[in-house]
Amino acid sequence: MKRQSVHLFVAAVMALLGPLVQKSRGDFELWDDHQLTVNRSHYQGILHERSGAFIVPPGSVTNLDAWDSSTVGISGGRVYNWLSAYDSSTVNISSGYVGSLWAYNSSTVNISGGDVTNLEALSSSTVTFYGQNFSVGDGLFLFGDRVLGTGMLSGEWMDGTPWAVNILPNPFTATILVIPGPAHKPFCVKYPRMDFNGDCKVDFADLAIMASSWLECNLVPESACWE
Neighbours of 125 (CB within 10 A): 24
Listed as ranges, residues in the chain with pLDDT below 50 are 1-25
Distance CA 166, CA 154 (A): 9
Q: What pLDDT score was predicted for residue 209?
A: 80
- Please state, in angstroms and rounded to a whole number, the distance separating the CA atoms of residues 65 and 103: 10
User: How many other β-carbons are positioned within 10 Å of the β-carbon of residue 95?
Assistant: 17
Give pTM, 2 decimals.
Answer: 0.74
Neighbours of 49 (CB within 10 A): 14
Q: Are 89 and 71 in contact (CB under 8 A)?
A: yes
Question: Residue 34, class by beta-carbon neighbours within 10 Å (0-12 exposed, 13-18 middle, 19+ buried)?
Answer: middle
Query: What does the pLDDT read at residue 83?
Result: 97
CB atoms within 10 A of CB 88: 18
Cβ atoms of 183 and 110 within 8 Å: the answer is yes
pLDDT, residue 24, reads 38
